[in-house]
Amino acid sequence: TWGRVKQQLLEAVGRNDYANWIEPLQLKKVDNGVAHFSVPTSFMANWVSRNFADQILMHLKASKVPASRVDFKVEVARPAQDAPTEATAAPVEQTSALATSTPEVEVADLPSAPLDARFTFDNFVVGKPNELAHAAARRVGEGGPVTFNPLFLYGGVGLGKTHLMHAIAHEIKQRDPEARVLYLSAEQFMYRFVQALRDRQMMDFKQLFRSVDVLMVDDVQFIAGKDSTQEEFFHTFNALVDQGKQIIISADRAPGEIKDLEDRIKSRLQCGLVVDLHPTDYELRLGILQTKAENYRTQYPGLVFAEGVLEFLAHRITTNVRVLEGALMRLFAFASLVGREITMDLAQECLADILKASDRKVTVEEIQRRVSEHYSIRLSDMIGPKRVRVIARPRQVAMYLSKQLTSRSLPEIGRRFGGRDHTTVMHGVRRIEELQTTDSQMFEDVEMLRRALEG
Ligand code: ADP
Ligand code: MG
């Protein structure tokens, strides 16, 4: 029955959400009106329960499953040295994630954020772009005398910072189960800090954070501009370093480049080892795909990849590893539903949106060129000062398309239009939005340009 319900859910939520959130669910039992599911991570438990519980319940009922409530339990695969996969590792029951509706799961006395059991060193594929970060993380995970303190990992979205941090935590805990490892995001740090202030529990807060052996703070750029949180973070940091405790930090950019972060914190962050994760290259992407595909094959033994499909994906999806993984997950889910071999055609059909999005990166410069050609004005007038309408209007069209087709922010777009202010850009964008509803020529022009640019 669950198979049939899943099929209905696939139709209801779409392939993408299905692959990410529904497919990994396992219906364990239905008992006293409660449908018990297991999920691989507590994050997933939270997310699914918040976003999909109603729909799941509805479809269960429609299929005459006697359930009036759903419950998601985290079943963590124990991170082990010998290449664990979700399918083979022994599941360990964790405390129920959501039945009690508390957002934080792992408690004991250390309020560490839950660790993803799949984020181990064994599951981390090493290539040129990440080998230094990986080596540094491994070294810190091995323990011994604290050499790199703090270890500062930085890099773009989806390149493996969180994965490496969790891997370090798993490693340390495995070697020394008594070790007090506290992993949390900078956001959670702030949240706890504010809560402690509000509840007048600052003493407890300080004591707690100063009593850990290893402190890991993920995405530290989040506390930029949050003055009192920074202050507290700074003191925590210093106290731990003084005690010779290990600190591991991640951010989306180098310490010196985090705006609105106090200088003394920047220099503190820089005084250990700073390593970055570079954007992936083709070999690394292929390696990651091969590893993950291998893991999937233990779950779906019947599924085969046609020659060249993984290579194709590694070529075409260059944004971040999370997108790459999502694509693979979706392919497997889809292929397992329809029972087809994963061919190039299937990949193109099933991943059309992802492929398109990561396919062509339209630049503001390209947009300016196309638009000026279309309206027969000079390219230099795009960035020049002229304000006559025959020039200003095409410029606004180019601004509008830049906003629509690139990921640039308004100030960034303004800079590329001869240093114009972001409010000017915003005004231009709005103007073209309006005109498209009243002026059919404008509508056609914009549509044509958009199609030409998107290719
Ligand atoms: P970040 O924290 O840098 O944004 P994550 O650590 O969350 O990125 O990684 C995004 C996803 O990509 C995760 O599922 C992670 O397991 C996977 N991933 C990233 N790099 C690698 C790698 N080198 N090998 C295997 N999986 C990876
Ligand atoms: Mg992260």
Give pLDDT tens digits for 46-91.
778 888 888 899 899 888 888 889 999 887 654 433 333 333 333 3
Task: Read off the pTM.
Answer: 0.62
**Which of 321, 323, 325, 329 for mutating ligand 1's site (highest number of atoms within 8 Å of CB)?**
321
Q: Return the ligand number nearest the Cα of 324.
A: 1
- State yes or no: 160 annotated in a binding site: yes
**8 Å CB contact between 393 and 442:** no
Q: Omega into 150 within 30° of 0, i.e. cis?
A: yes
- Complex-level ipTM: 0.99
- State yes or no: 147 annotated in a binding site: no
Q: What local confidence, expressed as pLDDT, does residue 359 receive?
A: 60
Q: Which atom of ligand 1 is nearest to the CA of 324?
A: 12
- State yes or no: 162 annotated in a binding site: yes
Which domains, ranges and CATH numbers included, belong to the chain? Answer: 2-93 (3.30.300.180), 128-277 (3.40.50.300), 294-359 (1.10.8.60), 364-454 (1.10.1750.10)
Give 309 Cα–ligand 2 centroid separation in angstroms. 28
Hey, whose CA ends up nearest to atom 10 of ligand 1?
Answer: 158
Q: Return the ligand number nearest the Cα of 40.
A: 1
Buried/exposed 392-416: b ≥16 CB within 10 Å, e otherwise: ebbbbbbbbbbbbbbebebeebbbb
What pairing do the DSSP bridges indicate for beta strands 181-185 and 34-39?
unpaired
Q: What is the pLDDT along the chain (455 residues), one digit of tens a residue?
A: 888 899 888 888 877 778 878 988 999 999 888 999 988 777 678 778 888 888 899 899 888 888 889 999 887 654 433 333 333 333 333 333 333 333 333 433 567 788 888 899 999 999 999 999 999 999 999 987 777 899 999 998 899 999 999 999 999 999 999 999 999 999 999 989 998 998 898 999 999 999 999 999 999 999 998 999 999 999 999 999 999 999 999 999 899 888 889 999 999 999 899 999 988 888 999 999 999 998 888 877 777 888 889 998 998 887 789 889 989 988 888 887 777 788 888 888 888 888 877 666 788 999 999 999 999 999 999 999 999 999 999 999 999 999 888 878 899 999 999 999 999 999 999 999 889 888 889 988 998 898 788 75
**8 Å CB contact between 168 and 141:** yes
Residues with Cβ within 8 Å of residue 204, at least 6 apart in sequence: 196
Query: Tens of pLDDT along 122-142?
Result: 999 999 999 999 999 999 999
**Which of 163, 170, 328 for mutating ligand 1's site (highest number of atoms within 8 Å of CB)?**
163
Give 195 Cα–ligand 1 centroid separation in angstroms. 31
Hey, whose CA ends up nearest to atom 21 of ligand 1?
Answer: 160
User: Scanning the structure block, which residue is given the tokens 């319940």?
Assistant: 57
Strand order in the sheet with 181-185: 181-185, 214-218, 246-251, 151-155, 273-277
Q: Which atom of ligand 1 is nearest to the CA of 284?
A: 23
Q: What are phi and psi of 255, to 5 degrees?
A: -55, -45
Give 164 Cα–ligand 2 centroid separation in angstroms. 9
Distance, CA of 191 to CA of 189 (rounded, Å) = 5
